[in-house]
Amino acid sequence: MSLLVVGLSHRSAPVSVLERASLSADAKVKLLHDTLAAEPATEAAVLATCNRIELYADVDKFHAGVAELSTLLAQHSGVALEELTPYLYVHYEDRAVHHLFSVACGLDSMVVGEGQILGQIKDALALGQELHTAGRLINDLFQQALRVGKRAHSETGIDRAGQSLVTFGLEQLAGARVPVGEWAAGKRALVIGAGSMSSLAAATLARVGVAEIVVANRTAERAERLAEILVASGTGVRASAIAMAGVAEELTRVDVVVSCTGATGLVLTDDDVLAAVSWGAAPDPAPQTPPATAGRGPQAGLTSAPAGGSPAAAGLDSADVVARLAAAAMTHGRLADAGAARTMPAAVEADGCPVGPDGRAALTGVDANSLELHGTWADQGEAAAQRQPRRSTRMHADGPTARLALLDLAMPRDIDAAVHRIPGVRLVDIESLAEASADAPMAADVDAVRAIVAEEVAAFGAAQRAAHITPTVVALRAMAAEVVAMEVARLDGRVPDLDERQRAEVTQTVRRVVDKLLHAPTVRVKQLASEPGGAGYAEALRELFDLDPQTVASVSRADAAEPLNDDDPGRAS
């Protein structure tokens, strides 16, 4: 095994770099084809999510492999190699296996313990199988990663160490002391996109109690299908679909927006959002006290706060802001955000949170198979159409409550980060989620998951090393069987008077002798080969018995051509 992974993630690169380095569906396909065309790689898979891009390959040369994979990532991501290199990480052989297993368990996720990564690993494997870039090693590795991830979630409480990205994002929108169920009750939500992440977001919104969900997508059929699934989910939510052209008008009527598309540019600009929150606003609204419990309508369940949360209002000019951000970057290695959510009105109220930390709980009541099939189907080539910014009038005055809550789960971002400066708008995006989750408490279950990962890495390495010697053992037994056949034929020429029963007895006796002679050494060599440093035993066996390398290679090719066990753990949420 010469497994190599080269990649970057939210842990190694700033969000701005991840946004620019994101891969489209076509770019993934081209990247895999070019990786196999490269000399060092024989098989490959690409794992690209909103917060990581990783290229896995079986290579015959480490240094050449690192150089080639790094160059290919830069070429297909559109980020210059010299700019990308400082953020790349490299893992080789057992360390690469350990990394993928940790990713599958949610240990390397932005929100520790989130399970959606399992569905993304499954998609990466499916793409490699479809394009025939995933050979025996990649198939074994990714299928085992799926099993390890499922084991971690079933045997430990890793789900309590974090939540799904969607649930976590909604909690940030609601505020640290406001129950999500209370915050969401009666609200009208707009979901932009109809892929797997958007489907999960819609199901989560339905679960936490929004009254109505409107789905917007470039392809109307996909939006309509997702709406049908939501209506049939049993949550009681009302759902409908609109075209992307209707998003601007719908923004004036909704309380919550969740966007996750494959667009390469902004789906919502600051002008779009400003126009929505300005629509129908009174010139000088009188202060109001929010109701004790959430009701219906665009202002239902929203918290109040004084206006003026901008840096200027706090007495800081742009130079002060830049200086503080630069100091934070020097200290922490990344730009700091002013909290988990970017908002002008920032007050929170109430205590408690009825939504459990298990991200999968958000999907209770939804037809999981239908949701998974829909998400997979909708993700094929889906990219939301970019809309041109349009001019609008500025707001006359700041409202007393957050008029619009925005959750941007896309990478690159769908919603202009500048909207956080608009009074009455609350924005949570990937960057602010990263800031919030960095301070999240780690559960004791994380240690248990790490132990599982270490155990599974050792088992996988042993299995791969043992499998490496199997073709040699098979070739040895084939040679022994050929020798037996030749000697039996020779005996027939020397003793032609043997009847069939006698000839069969002699043949069986010779075979038993050969099998008994070979049994102990072949079993022992498999055991030795499964241990670290045991790769040389296969070569020793070939040398000792003068085995034909072509015969061994043909056995290896036949083994790789066997039907794969398509382990389907299902799409975790």
Name the residue type at position 222. R
CA nearest neighbour of 29 among 130, 161, 145: 130
List the catalytic residue out of 50, 105, 260, 353: 50
CA nearest neighbour of 207 among 354, 106, 350: 354
Q: How far apart are CA 418 and CA 152, in angstroms?
A: 39
Q: How far apart are CA 486 and CA 246, in angstroms?
A: 80
Question: Is beta strand 238-243 parallel, antiparallel or unpaired with respect to 41-49?
Answer: unpaired
Q: How far apart are CA 280 and CA 537, in angstroms?
A: 78
Cis ω before 345 (30° cut-off from 0) = no
Q: Which residue has the tokens 């990247």?
A: 31
> DSSP readout, 446-479?
HHHHHHHHHHHHHHHHHHHHHHHHHHHHHHHHHH
Alpha-helical (H) ranges within 54-178 are: 62-77, 81-84, 94-104, 116-131, 136-155, 165-174
Rg (CA), the chain: 29
Our separate counts of H helices and E strands in the chain read: 20, 11
Q: How far is CA 147 from CA 141, 154, 445, in A?
A: 10, 10, 18
> DSSP readout, 209-258?
T-SEEEEEESSHHHHHHHHHHHHTTSS--EEEEEEGGGHHHHHTT-SEEE
Name the residue type at position 23. L
Please work out, in degrees rounded to the nearest 5, the angle formed at the alpha carbon of residue 283 by the alpha carbons of 278 and 288.
90
Please list, in sequence order, all residues whose beta carbon lies within 8 angstroms of the beta carbon of residue 44, skipping any fewer than 6 positions away. Answer: 32, 35, 36, 55, 56, 57, 58, 128, 133, 134, 138
| Residue ranges of E strands in 272-403 | 342-343
CA nearest neighbour of 168 among 263, 51, 252: 51
Please work out, in degrees rounded to the nearest 5, the angle formed at the alpha carbon of residue 16 by the alpha carbons of 12 and 22.
80
Question: Among this protein's residues, is 105 annotated catalytic?
Answer: no
Q: How far apart are CA 339 and CA 326, in angstroms?
A: 17
Strand arrangement of the beta sheet that strand 425-429 belongs to: 238-243, 212-217, 188-192, 256-259, 404-408, 425-429, 342-343
List, by residue number, the catalytic residues. 50
